[in-house]
């Protein structure tokens, strides 16, 4: 091993740097999710469509990319920007894919368990879901909490799970798989997504505009990256601020076009002759 390479393999306060494939617990978790999905969708009434299977597979692949792939490896070698990409994948990409991959028939048996439907209905209420996600997002990026996370692997895992869980609750009003816990109407979805820019900005703006380094861990030890710590912090803040904002606006646009198509299909044919009449005239 070349001189100076050894320190790069030491994760401060953790067993070692997360090179791709070095977190077997992540792989075990992904395999467990796949097994549960297969068991929940084996019945004909719960059988997923090809699109749902693809969405769920995409969610699992994104989890591996974020937590046991090059993104995680870069984050653990003190690249703050990679850490922000990781958090955005866990909260903005994985949750909607998971929900879009769930057939309604796989969710309903869980809702029938005692008390589950009542708790779920309270958690996925748009106001509660929005507030819960915003609180978790802000709390995770507070310097004292973030420093504890990057220095302790257990805290790191717990906070990543909190981001993933709150993100899933956040996206339920947009991508709910069951009418028992319904999606918002299309205008409500658009407003919800637009307002989601607020907690993103509340977290990203102080990070981007801070005059100094907010998270000392990134300034400690060697960094194999051609970017200084403060510039990396600014870039990471911009990824969350601008990158996440662009992503949410793209989703908002997709919802708008889906709404437009829905309205077009439901538009009454006022003043139009029935197709049968048109056919007879043509004949």
Comparing C-alpha atoms, which of 111, 128, 130 is closest to residue 180? Answer: 111
Q: How far apart are CA 166 and CA 90, in angstroms?
A: 10
Q: Residue 49 contacts by C-beta under 8 Å, 6 or more apart in sequence?
A: 103
Positive or negative, the CA dihedral 242, 247, 250, 251 is negative
Domain that holds residue 255: 13-265
pLDDT classification of 16: cutoffs 50, 70, 90: very low
Instruction: Confirm whether 259 is domain-assigned.
Output: yes
Instruction: Confirm whether 1 is domain-assigned.
Output: no
Per-residue confidence (pLDDT) for residue 23, from 0 to 100: 74
Judge whether residue 275 has pLDDT over 70: no
Instruction: Confirm whether 140 is domain-assigned.
Output: yes
Number of domains present in the structure of the chain: 1
Length of the chain: 283
Global pTM reads: 0.84
Instruction: Confirm whether 148 is domain-assigned.
Output: yes
Which pLDDT tens digit goes with each residue over 137-164? Answer: 999 999 999 999 999 999 999 999 999 9
Instruction: Confirm whether 279 is domain-assigned.
Output: no
Which pLDDT tens digit goes with each residue over 29-53? Answer: 999 999 999 999 998 989 999 999 9
């Amino acid at each position: 091993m070349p001189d100076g390479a050894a320190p790069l393999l030491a994760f401060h306060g953790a067993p070692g740097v997360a090179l791709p494939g070095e977190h077997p617990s992540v792989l075990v978790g992904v395999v467990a999710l796949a097994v549960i999905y297969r068991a929940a969708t084996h019945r004909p009434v719960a059988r997923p469509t090809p699109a749902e299977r693809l969405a769920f597979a995409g969610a699992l692949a994104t989890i591996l990319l974020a937590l046991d792939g090059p993104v995680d490896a870069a984050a653990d070698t003190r690249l703050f920007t990679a850490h922000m990409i990781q958090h955005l994948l866990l909260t903005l990409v994985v949750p909607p894919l998971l929900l879009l991959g769930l057939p309604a028939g796989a969710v309903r048996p869980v809702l029938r368990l005692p008390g589950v439907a009542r708790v779920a209905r309270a958690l996925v209420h748009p106001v509660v879901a929005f507030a819960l996600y915003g609180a978790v997002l802000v709390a995770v990026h507070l310097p004292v909490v973030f420093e504890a996370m990057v220095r302790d692997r257990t805290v790191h895992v717990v906070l990543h799970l909190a981001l993933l869980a709150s993100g899933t609750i956040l996206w339920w009003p947009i991508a709910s798989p069951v009418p028992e816990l319904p999606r918002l109407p299309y205008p409500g979805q658009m407003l919800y997504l637009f307002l989601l820019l607020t907690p993103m900005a509340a977290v990203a703006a102080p990070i981007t505009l801070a005059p100094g380094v907010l998270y000392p861990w990134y300034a400690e030890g060697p960094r194999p990256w051609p970017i200084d710590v403060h510039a990396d912090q600014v870039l990471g803040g911009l990824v969350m601020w601008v990158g996440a904002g662009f992503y949410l606006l793209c989703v908002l646009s997709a919802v708008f076009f889906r709404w437009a198509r829905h309205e077009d299909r439901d538009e009454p044919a006022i003043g139009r002759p029935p197709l049968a009449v048109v056919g007879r005239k043509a004949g």
